[in-house]
Amino acid sequence: MPQPSPEVDLSVAEVDALVRAQHPELTASVVRVGAGWDNAVYRLGERLAVRVPRRAVAVPLLRNEQRWLPEIAERMPVAVPAPVAVGEPGPEFPWPWSIMPWFDGAVAASASQAARDGIAEELAAALRALHVPAPADAPFNPVRGVPLADRDAAIDDRFAGRPALERAWREGVAAPMWPHEPVWVHGDVHPGNIVLQGGGIQALIDFGDMCAGDPACDLAIAWLGFSAAGRAAFRDALGDYGDPHLWTRASAWAAAIAALLADADDAWLRDMSAHAVRELG
């Protein structure tokens, strides 16, 4: 799936003006770092970053991060991008935005396979800390953390010509659903959202898809990022949360994500898709 076009794409000067107008005490040099499907990120000085929506659909997701990440950060063994300051809509920009910590390091997507496999147990500990029962007012996400059958009609045609992915998906859809109360789910755990430094995890980032639900979707990283050896270490460290069908559903989520990203604009996303296809095969 190609990356959606932005509805708003702020310049460095416009971001600098937003910071000066609402948080002048944090004013520093602004450098554009990059943009994902929903948000653009600008480095603010040496220690901060500005996260700005590019599409209206990202606005409630950013609000979720602003509301819940400060609480989640308190129990996590790795850093998460809890906002340092919140920007409000105004005449210059119609949507909320955030100032958050800047994490030095490199994303796991650019690391070697050995380096990614080396964080398997540390990532398992981080997800264990995240996957606790969520409050009743936690966000709902219609495309993450939900029963796989709810997504079947929407993604069924992605598997044409990809038998390994279709097999994993069908097995997941047929498996029993998550039998426990909904837990906090990151919603988008993959090598591009894990920052490494010094051989370990510096931060788990991009919580825009965070929600309450089935943690199996977060465990798709077992195929999206790890080799067989890393996956075994990851699974051993996590266990099955008292759900013998957890990993069957997790592999189905990996298949769905691999199919989605097979024709992505970014080469690293296509590479991640191809890696998952090999691991699922």
**Per-residue burial over 189-226, b = 16 or more CB atoms within 10 Å of its CB, e = otherwise:** bbbbbbbbeeeebbbbbbbbbbbbbbbbbbbbbbbbbb
Burial of 263 (0-12, 13-18, 19+ CB in 10 A): exposed
Which is the CATH superfamily of the domain at 106-280?
A: Aminoglycoside phosphotransferase (APH), C-terminal lobe (3.90.1200.10)
Per residue in 3-39, pLDDT (tens digit) is 678 899 999 999 999 999 999 999 999 999 988 889 9
pLDDT at 1 over 60: no
Q: How many CB atoms lie within 10 A of CB 264?
A: 17
pTM of structure? 0.94
pLDDT value at residue 36: 83
Contact 40, 5 (CB under 8 A): no
Query: What is residue 165's predicted lDDT score, i.e. its pLDDT?
Result: 96
CATH code, 12-101: 3.30.200.20
Residues 106-152 have pLDDT tens digits of 999 999 999 999 999 999 999 999 999 999 999 999 999 999 999 99
Residues of the chain with CATH 3.90.1200.10: 106-280
- Are the CB atoms for 83 and 100 separated by under 8 Å? yes
pLDDT of residue 35: 86
- Residue for token pair 């598997």: 159
φ, ψ dihedrals at 266, nearest 5°: -85, 135
Domain with CATH 3.30.200.20 in the chain: 12-101
Q: What tokens appear for 124 in the block? A: 């398992």
Mean pLDDT of 232-249: 98
How far apart CA 9 and CA 53 sit, in angstroms, is 9
